[in-house]
Amino acid sequence: MVIIATTLISGCQPAGDKPKQQFEHAQSGAFAASISNSGQYSVVSTLYHGVALWDLNANGAKYQWSHDIEQKPLTFDEGESTSIMSNSNVIFAIAIADNDSHAVLADKHNFSLWDISTGENTGFWQVRKSKVQVNKDDTSNAWVNRNNPASDEPKASQITVLDRTKCINVNESNGEQCMMLGTIRAVDVSDNGNSIVIGKSNGMVTHITLESGRRLEFLGHQRDLLDENGEAIQINNAINSIDMSPNGKYVLTGSSDQAAYLWDTTSGQVVHKFRHSSRVIHVALDPKARYAFTADSKKQARIWDLKTGNAISNLDFINRQEIFSSARFSENGKWLLTGAPTRQLTLWDVKTGKQLQQWHVTPRKGSRPQSAVVYSASFINNETQVISESSAGLSEIWDIAREHR
């Protein structure tokens, strides 16, 4: 197999903020991306050219994947056009196993597993439908959808869930239907592709052990919040972020219900609950089980001790609020590396929460406004450098200052 070398780009960055190296991975920008914990691989999703696995050590694309049960992975040959994958489903959630063995891709209703060493697809699944009973509007005898009056879709208030995990013995005359409840919002995969976890817009999290087919539904984010009168409060409990331990035994989930849970995938029991005052936007686990990171949509971004569940530090930033789009702990346990939708890539001190160093990824040339989302970042070269993937379709390498090493 011949590997295409990526193009080295000259970025338009302020003096002192230029990356050490810069490579183009998606000419028209990326829709999603994930870098492996080792920094050796990245998986990049585009709107027009499907999904590509990049070997970052060789600076070249290795495989191109189609998120379609009928498709097979393609290898890149020199001069080969990539436009053949333009009809692939759009992938917005990507995760790579901590040991670089597998990658999981997801669109709103489907997810697939890929072997990184061979490029082969090892499974393609659709989100299970649930058995529900739909009650029609008594006055109009029709569905009501404020966003789309012509739609046949019922409102959530018209749906009674009869069986969340399967749909059999449906009595259509009684208003029963098979329906997908919620869309996929986050995914992760354990070492060797042994298990996958998906989080959905309705607050449901599903852990799947692939060898046995065992499914465990974590419902911690679906519990009702009660007001002072004991009445259930309707809340947004969408799952925004997921991270799973390398062995697949523990999962950290963050939700719009203002909570993050660390829970056991064997029993479904909560190990720690991390409370926030607004939507939890991003979470991350240290692969060595030392720390957890949880960040909300306002001011709280904390690093926690996984043994005690106590806070170690709160990230110290000046802005009124800070949104994070990626986070990763260093192997040495000293640093947290975060990315943001504002081009910012930041190195933090785990113990103090102090900012040590900051870079700005390059926006795509000609884009308006001149911005980029940092999708993923990792440490490389014995943790002397960091590498990023952004919505600009660029992979960039940055030096960690000597005084911080």
pLDDT digits (tens, 9 = 90+) for 236-251: 789 999 999 999 999 9
Q: Within a domain: residue 257?
A: yes
pLDDT at 166: 77
* pLDDT of amino acid 133: 82
User: What total of structural domains would you count in the chain?
Assistant: 2
Same domain? For 15 and 153 the reply is no
Please tell me the distance from the alpha carbon of residue 86 to that of residue 50, in angstroms, as a whole number: 6
Pair (135, 268) in one structural domain: no
Given a cut of 70, is residue 81 above it in pLDDT? no
Backbone torsions φ then ψ of 56, nearest 5 degrees = -75, -25
**Measured on CA atoms in the order 383, 384, 386, 387, is the torsion positive or negative?**
negative
Task: Quote the tokens at residue 13.
Answer: 């960055």
Is residue 367 very low, low, confident or very high in pLDDT (cuts 50, 70, 90)?
confident
The 10s digit of each residue's pLDDT in 59-76 is 899 999 987 655 544 443
Nearest Cα to 102, choosing from 11, 190, 178? 190
Same domain, 255 and 321: yes
Instruction: Please state, rounded to an integer, the average pLDDT across all residues of the chain.
Output: 84
Domain interval for residue 169: 128-181
Query: Is pLDDT above 60 for 77?
Result: no
Q: Which two tokens stand for residue 149?
A: 């009056």
Of 6-20, 77-91, 185-199, 295-309, the range with the lowest mean pLDDT is: 77-91
Asked if 200 and 296 sit in the same domain, the reply is yes
Which has the minimum average pLDDT: 161-170, 181-190, 379-388?
161-170
Task: Say what the pLDDT of residue 6 is.
Answer: 40
Residue of 252, 338, 339 lying closest to 287 (CA atoms): 252
Confidence class for position 360, pLDDT limits 50, 70, 90: very high
Do residue 143 and residue 217 come from a single domain?
A: no
> Do residue 206 and residue 318 come from a single domain?
yes
SS3 labels along the chain: CCCEECCECCCCCCCCCCCCEEEECCCCCCCEEEECCCCCEEEEECCCCCEEEEECCCCEEEEEECCCCCCCCEECCCCCCCHHHCCCCCCCEEEECCCCCEEEEECCCEEEEEECCCCCEEEEEECCCEEEEECCCCCCCCCCCCCCCCCCCCCHHHEEEEECCCCCCCCHHHCEEEECCCCEEEEEECHHHCEEEEEECCCCEEEEECCCCEEEEECHHHCCEECCCCCEECCCCCEEEEEECCCCCEEEEEECCCEEEEEECCCCCEEEEEECCCCEEEEEECCCCCEEEEEECCCCEEEEECCCCCEEEECCCCCCCCCCCEEEECCCCCEEEEECCCCEEEEEECCCCCEEEEEECCCCCCCCCCCCCEEEEEEECCCCEEEEEECCCEEEEEECCHHHC
Q: What is the pLDDT of residue 78?
A: 36
Give the pLDDT of residue 79.
35
Q: What band does 86 get if pLDDT is binned at 50, 70 and 90? A: very low
Do 299 and 224 reside in the same domain of the chain? yes
Q: Of 40, 33, 214, 197, nearest to 116 (Cα)?
A: 40
pLDDT band at 2 (very low <50, low <70, confident <90, very high): very low
| Whole-Å CA distances, 274 to 249, 337, 377, 400 | 19, 20, 24, 31
Q: Which has the closest alpha carbon to 113: 75, 65, 54?
A: 65
pLDDT reading at 365 higher than 90? no
Which range, of 110-114, 115-119, 150-154, 382-386, averages the lowest pLDDT? 150-154
What average pLDDT does this structure show over 185-192?
97
Residue 302 has pLDDT above 90, yes or no: yes
353 in a domain, yes or no?
Answer: no
Highest mean pLDDT among 133-147, 216-230, 306-320, 362-376: 306-320
One domain for residues 292 and 190 = yes
Residue 75 confidence (pLDDT): 43
For residues 240 and 311, state if they share a domain. Answer: yes
Contacts (Cβ under 8 Å, ≥6 apart) of 11: 18, 19, 22, 362, 394, 396
Lowest average pLDDT, out of 131-135, 226-230, 378-382, goes to 226-230
Q: What is the pLDDT of residue 226?
A: 58
* 193-211 mean pLDDT: 94
- pLDDT of 292 reads 98
Beginning with the edge strand found earlier in the chain, give each strand of the sheet holding 21-24 in spatial order: 21-24, 394-399, 385-390, 374-380
Determine the average pLDDT of the residues in 266-289: 96
- Arithmetic mean of pLDDT, 267-273: 96
What confidence score (pLDDT) does residue 19 get?
95
Residue 403 domain-assigned (yes or no): no
Tens-digit pLDDT profile for residues 137-162: 543 333 333 334 344 455 555 678 77
Which among 94, 124, 239, 101 is positioned nearest to 181, based on CA atoms? 239
Of 275, 305, 327, the position where a domain reaches its end is 327
